[in-house]
Every structure is written in C-alpha cells, then in structure tokens.
Amino acid sequence: MFRTKTQKTVTTWALGVACLVAPSLAHAADPVKLTGGIAGVVRDYMGAPQMGAAVFLYNHQNRMLERVLTDEHGAFKLLGLLPDLYFVKVMFAAFAPTIRQDIKVQPGMRSILNVRLDTLFSSLQLSYPTVESGPLMSDDWKWVLRSSSATRPVLRLLDPDATDSATGKPTRVAMFSDTRGIVKVSGGEGSSLAEGVASQADMGTAFALATSLYGSSVLQVSGNVGYGASNGVPVAAFRTSYSRNIGLGNPDVSLTMRQLYLPGRLAAAFTGTESAMPAFRSMSASFDDRAQLADNVTLRYGMSMDCVSFLDHLNYYSPYARLTYNPTPDSTVELTYTAGNARPDMAGADAEDEDLQRDLNSLGLFPRVSLLEGRAKIQRGEEYEVTYSHKAGSRTFHVSGYREVVQNLALSLMAPLGYFSASDVMPDLFSNSSIFNVGNFGSTGFTAALTQALGDHVSVTGMYEETGALTVGKEELVSNNPDELRSMIRQGRRQSATMRVVSTIPHSGTHLIASYQWSGDRNWLTAGNLYSTQSFRPLPGMNLYIRQPIPGFGKRVEATADLRNMLAQGYLPLSTAQGQNLLLVQNPRSFRGGLSFIF
C-alpha cells in the first residue's frame, strides 16, 4: 500500500514538471532571431533592373564588411547582420555612386532598399518588412503591374539626324568613333638587344588600331610580324587591350601573345640534331589602372601574369606601382616600384610618341632568356626608385636614387664556336652572338640632371650618374667551364657624365635626339639601373634618334632612324690561355630604321 502511494506521488510530480516545462520547450522550438538583413533592388532612372551593380556594406566606423553584386533582376541581399547602424554604397558603370547612411538593422527584420541610379543622383526609399512576411511583392501585385499600361516598355524611334537644341551636337552616340591607326615597316642590323632587358627582331611590319566604343571605352588591337636578318628566325606578336573610363579610374586590361619559330639549324644548337623544336611562346595578361587619391596625389598601379614556353614552362608575376605627389605646380615627387618585367611604357614620352607608337615599341620585345645548367631562365628585375623634379623658368632639375636587384642577368657573349657547352650558353635567337647567364646582380646608385631649354625647339641636358657595374680581372680564362667565367666577373661602382640634346626643326618638322656618355674606365659593363622607369636614363656610348615627316604628306608619313652605341663602347674583352678572345656586351651596337604610315 505504501509502495502504491509512493508511485502515485512520483507520477503526480512528473506530470507537474512536464506541465511546467512544456511551454518552455514549445517556445524553444521557435528559435529567437538575433540577426537581421538588408535587401533591395537596383534600377536605373527609367526603372530597368541593373545586373552586376556593386553593393558595398560598411559599419558605422566606415569599415567595409561585405561586397555583393546584383543578380539578373537587379536584386541583392546582405544577411546575417548584427543589430547596428550601417551604410550602403552602390556603384555601377556610367552612373554616379549612391550612398545611404544610418540604415538600422533590427533582429528578425530585413531592411529593404529601393535604389534608383542616375547620372547625377539616385533616390532611396526605406521600409522595414519582417523576414516572415515573405517576398517583397505578392503575386496579385505582380499581375497588376504586368497588366498596367504604365509599366509596359515603350519603343521610341529616334531621328538619326536629330541634334541637341542647346549644343547643336548629334544626340545619337556612334558605336565606333575617334578611330586612328599606324602601320610601321622597320629593318635593322646588329644585335637586337633592347637596353639590356629584352630582345626583338631586326626586320618587321607592325600595326596598331584604336577606336572608341560609344564614347566611353577604347578598344585597341596591335600586331607585329618580323624575322631576324642574320638567321631568318620568324616572329609574331599580337596584343588586344580594352580600357573604360568609369569616373573613379581608367582600368585597362590587355592580352599579349608572342611566338618565335626555331628552324632546324638553330634547333641543332640545342639538341645536336636538326629536329623539330617547340616554338618559343609567351602569353601575358596585364591590368593597369590609376587612382586620384587627392588633388595633388596620383597612384598608378598594375600587374601582369606571364607564361613562357621554351625548353620548359615558366610562369612569373610582375606587379608595379607609382605614387606621384605634386607639392607645387612646378615640383614632382615620384615613388616607383617594379618587379619582373621592365616597364618602358612608364617612361613618359612626347605627345607624338604616346599611345599607338609606344605600344608598337614594346609589342615586339621578347623576354630575355638564357640557359643555366641546361635549364631556361628568365631575366627579371626588382627596382625601388625615388625621383624629384623641379622646374624653375627655363631650367628643370632632376634627382633620382634607386635600389635594383636583377636575377639571371643575361649578357651577349661573342666567343669561338663550341668554346662553351650548349647547356650553359644559348645562341641568340636574333643575332650571331650567344647569351650568357652571369647570375644575380644587385646595385644602388643615383642620377642628377639639369635640363636647359634654348627657346621653344631646343633643350640641352647634362647628367651625372653613379651606378653599379661589372668588370673582370686581368687573369686569363684557363678552361671552358662557364663557372670559371662567372667567378672572374666582379661588381663595382662606375661614374659617368652624359650630354643630351633634343631639337625640333620648325619648318621641316625634323625631331632629333642625340646623346653621348663619358666614363673614365671603359673596361666596365654598366649593368645597373636597367629597369629604370625614367625618361632621362642615360644610354652608353653615342646614340642618335631621328624622326622625319615625309614632305607632301604632312605628319601622316614619317621616317625614323635609331642608332645605338655607334662607337661600340662598353665592350668587355677577355682572353683565354689558348690565345683566343671573348667579348661580353651589355648594350651592343645596333642600327634600325623604319617608315610609319599614320591615319
């Protein structure tokens, strides 16, 4: 009997506890929502949804938390947000950025933004439907909007000859406009080394064509087909680039492909038999942009990814950045960093040599390749450069300092046939010389220059430079081991002075640039500052560049002549124990001429 009462008591307590806990369990089954969200739709001023618009979410401390893109319906969602105040920025090409501040996110609520983009301003409307309320719009409302004549698209036929009453200009924007191009036929003699950082063919035909798309974008296509005059090696290069002005910047993307075919006699130099060799191929994808950080501060930056296929597959990355600060209208400070490839396009050129002409100058440049223990190596450089320039009346002062590291420095080598093994010396693909891998080289230095303008058509520049250099001892080369030659090469310092004259003859339009560099000891190779981005970097020896418009064609047809190191200076001689002579060359003598047709 006592046991029965005890069981009833326990049962009663259990039922009581269950009754008390049940409401809590039922409430726990419905979890409390501690986060909210922001959603919305982005439309243009005519109400059309905008796909691909960038939506940036910031907290109240102006820190970006998330970035999403709108879908094909122009909708976006930012979920899982803690209760707080946020602000949203919406950006899309051809529209002004739209910003909405103090957006309140509440637990279990979704703040809805209706974004209207315009070329000048946008309007936002804010509401707070609950998350449980379902879609933003019911099916009934969707049917009403579909059947309403006010929401149906209207087709308007515009008069192609219509003009704006205020400006008198056509209202219709052409798909292609401001089209321009250039065709250049060139030929040369001597080595094709381009200032120690790249190689190019002696003969070639190049073209470049640029056009504006709808007035806001630029599409450019260029190509170069040529061959080496000394060995008949055919080469080809093509580049396509696209740039668009989006208000906050001017991004430019490009894709460049280069190919070189090795005939049987050159293939024998690598394999010992005249068998088929894989072509030298390279592909480069690059991105360039600039940003105006302040009224007097500009940042230019970019990068390129290169893939080279030649005896091996080589991939490397080449970033760069330049920060330009103008403390006064006549003063400029530049901080530049480059890695990987050289950047000759950053060296600032005259207005007549920009865009298409400069693109042609760099299109045919192949990366500098050498062999080390039978493996292909790419010459690469890393440079830090600081430059200050100031213009005072007719004088301009330049001062620059640099720190440079070059990996797998490749020099031209003139040696008896078969003196070194084929696994360490590679025949130059564009000349009768060879390519020798010296190893890595690092240097620091500075340049000081003063430019004096003599009227409107003549300027004279005097430069003093101290850079790193390479030389060899007086001992003879005993064996044909390439490591012995590398051990004989040592680094040092070299001072030089350069005089440069730039002149334009008004009546004939002849443009001339002449320079000469003096140095105390000629048994040095100036291997420093190869990857400089400055336009006033001195060249060794005597150099002459002439550009002459052909009379009767205005400036539509031009003849050019480029003579580098005319006195063959900077050649480093070596002697062997067998009485043979070798030469190491950084900047070989070369002659190049061309004829350009501009339209």
**96-123 residue pLDDT tens:** 788 888 888 888 888 888 888 875 444 4
End-to-end alpha carbon distance in the chain: 117
Q: What is the mean pLDDT of residues 142-161?
A: 49
Q: What are phi and psi of 482, to 5 degrees?
A: -65, -25
Decide which of 355 and 35 is more confident: 35
CATH of 176-598, one of 2.40.160, 3.40.50, 3.30.420, 1.10.8: 2.40.160
Decide which of 582 and 143 is more confident: 582
Q: Tell me, what's the pLDDT at 418?
A: 73
Q: What is the Cα–Cα distance from 502 to 458, expressed in whole angstroms?
A: 6
Residue-wise burial string across 413-450, b where 16 or more C-beta atoms lie within 10 A, e elsewhere: bbbeeebbebebbbbbbbbebbbbbbeebebebebebe
Residue-wise burial string across 503-528, b where 16 or more C-beta atoms lie within 10 A, e elsewhere: ebeeeebebbbebbbebeeeebbbbb
Count of C-beta atoms within a 10 Å radius of residue 83 = 13
Token pair listed for 243 = 């740039």
Residues of the chain with CATH 2.60.40.1120: 36-151
Q: What is the Cα–Cα distance from 155 to 299, expressed in whole angstroms?
A: 44
Q: What is the DSSP letter of 420?
A: S
**404-450 residue pLDDT tens:** 999 998 888 888 777 777 677 887 777 777 888 888 988 999 999 99
Residues of the chain with CATH 2.40.160: 176-598
Q: Tell me, what's the pLDDT at 414?
A: 83
User: Which three-class secondary structure state does DSSP give residue 344?
Assistant: helix
Q: Tell me, what's the pLDDT at 27?
A: 42
pLDDT tops 60 at residue 20: no
Q: What is the Cα–Cα distance from 87 to 557, expressed in whole angstroms?
A: 57
Q: Does domain 36-151 have CATH number 2.60.40.1120?
A: yes
pLDDT tops 50 at residue 84: yes
Q: Tell me, what's the pLDDT at 303?
A: 94
Count of C-beta atoms within a 10 Å radius of residue 39 = 16
User: Which three-class secondary structure state does DSSP give residue 514?
Assistant: strand
Q: How many residues does the chain have?
A: 599
Per-residue confidence band for 571, with pLDDT thresholds at 50, 70 and 90: confident
Q: What is the mean pLDDT of residues 569-578?
A: 81
Q: What is the pTM of this model?
A: 0.67
User: Measured at the alpha carbon of residue 107, what is the angle toward residues 106 and 112, in degrees to the nearest 5?
Assistant: 50
Which stretches of 505-541 are assigned E, i.e. beta strand? Answer: 511-519
Q: What are phi and psi of 242, to 5 degrees?
A: -140, 130
Q: Tell me, what's the pLDDT at 359?
A: 78
**Which of 178-182, 183-187, 300-304, 540-544 tops mean pLDDT?**
300-304
Per-residue confidence band for 9, with pLDDT thresholds at 50, 70 and 90: very low
Half-sphere exposure of residue 151: CA atoms within 13 angstroms, side-chain side: 10
**161-189 residue pLDDT tens:** 545 544 555 555 577 888 889 898 888 76
Q: Tell me, what's the pLDDT at 556?
A: 83
